Amino acid sequence: MAEIVIRNLRKEFGAFTAVRGSSFTIRDGEFFMLLGPSGCGKTTTLRMIAGLELPTSGEILIDGEDVSQKPASQRDIAMVFQMFALYPHMNVRKNISYPLVSQGMPKAQVQAKVAEVARILGIADILDKPVGGLSGGDRQRVALGRAIVRNPKAFMMDEPLGALDAEFREHMSEELRALHDRMKATTVYVTHDQLEAMQMGDKIVVMNHGVVEQFGTPQDIYDHPATLFVADFIGSPSMNFLRFEGVAAAGATSVQLGEVPMSLPELQEPAAGKLVLGVRPEHVGLTDNSPYRGRVEATEYLGTTQIVTLSTPNGVVKARAPATQSVKLGEAVGLTLNPRTLSLFDATTGRAFR
């Protein structure tokens, strides 16, 4: 078990900076997601925590000990890779016991540990099968078994489910999360899939271009995105952005969208200039009696809800409405934005006003 503290972590590859001074804390037992688009530096961050890559500067503390410049072998961290890196010529039992046998652990102890891990993962019945003939899921379980069996301080997982098809991926992600809930081992998990991060993570770091954009619980990040990037990256369909020029004093509880005042959570700081009002589709209501109007451009039926696309004076807005609500293409309708859920951003810096 381990707490991992990251301080001002930076990684340069020649002239290119892949990670630009990240800081965050992974608490003992957390399922922690590193989330962001391709190339944002999440794998590099994971590899630095595991010791497979040394930082250019900054610190990695594991349980208070600075391991920044230590090799992987001295960190007691297990990597679980996407491509089930198993030994194809060995059976399941040998694959799982390999790390223990190579440490020189006595045979009886190895047998007991392998049996325990096989029970946790539900693979006791395939221990003597060759790994070559196993299904994708069983291979993944064996790869996990090999990581779990040596009881490391923490697990690092780099898109471990990336090779699986969608349906099976969902099943394995539930299995992984349930396994974590039983074992409570600190786990750092890299993904570019925001839904996977939201569903599985206790905490999420959202990265973009080597920078930590936000660090928090899934709910924090969804409800209070710190930047336009995070607001756009998390949620499907994404948050709507209403662009306007305006001014709001500290303590203000509304902004003026053209002629229409829009209530929002009380601002702690003043805002002025090019602004963006952010609202999630599920917080846009369609009603006749609102002075803020839009025109219905498209509807997309999703069973219990529908996504209604509207053009407004401040840009395109998508609303998630009940499927039973009647909306007609080309019709002008009133929009209500749930005031408690609105975010206000600076269009130039992309930062949210608090």
Q: In sequence order, which residues have a C-beta less than 8 Å from that of residue 170 and are 6 or more positions away?
A: none
42 binds ligand ATP (CB under 6 A): yes
Using CB under 6 A as the binding rule, whether residue 18 contacts ligand ATP is answered as: yes
Query: Nearer Cβ to ligand ATP, position 84 or 353?
Result: 84
Query: How far apart are the C-alpha atoms of 203 and 206, rounded to whole Å?
Result: 10
Give 269's contacts (C-beta < 8 A, 6+ positions apart): 250, 353, 354
Say which DSSP state 227 is in. B
Find the binder of ligand ATP among 1, 13, 116, 269 (CB under 6 A).
13
Q: Among candidates 173, 159, 349, which has minimal Cα distance to 272?
A: 349
Q: Of 44, 68, 187, 194, which lies in the binding site for ligand ATP, with binding defined by CB under 6 A?
A: 44
Provide the mask over 225-254, with x wherever binding to ligand ATP is found by CB under 6 A and - wherever it is not: ------------------------------
Which residue in 6, 9, 40, 148 binds ligand ATP (CB under 6 A)? 40
Alpha carbon 133 to its chain's center? 33
- State yes or no: residue 41 binds ligand ATP (CB under 6 A): yes
> Does residue 160 interact with ligand ATP by CB under 6 A?
no
What single letter denotes the amino acid at residue 277?
A: L
When asked if residue 58 is in the footprint of ligand ATP (CB under 6 A), the reply is no
Task: Decide: is 162 part of the binding site for ligand ATP (CB under 6 A).
Answer: no
Name the residue whose CB lies closest to ligand ATP.
Answer: 43
Tell me how far, at minimum, the Cβ of 350 lies from ligand ATP, in Å.
19
Residue 38 interacting with ligand ATP (CB under 6 A): yes
Closest CA to 205 of 197, 195, 215: 215
**Please, which of residues 171-230 interact with ligand ATP by CB under 6 A?**
192
Identity of the residue, 40 or 149, whose beta carbon is nearer to ligand ATP in the bound complex: 40
Q: How many residues bind ligand ATP (CB under 6 A)?
A: 12
If we measure between CA atoms, which residue out of 237, 192, 231 comes closest to residue 39? 192
CA R_g for the chain: 24
β partners of residue 279 = 240
Exposed, middle or buried, 301 (CB in 10 Å: 0-12/13-18/19+)? exposed
Residue 174 CB, nearest approach to ligand ATP (Å): 23
User: How far apart are alpha carbons 117 and 107 in whole angstroms?
Assistant: 15
Q: Which residues of the chain form contacts with ligand ATP (CB under 6 A)?
A: 13, 16, 18, 36, 38-44, 192
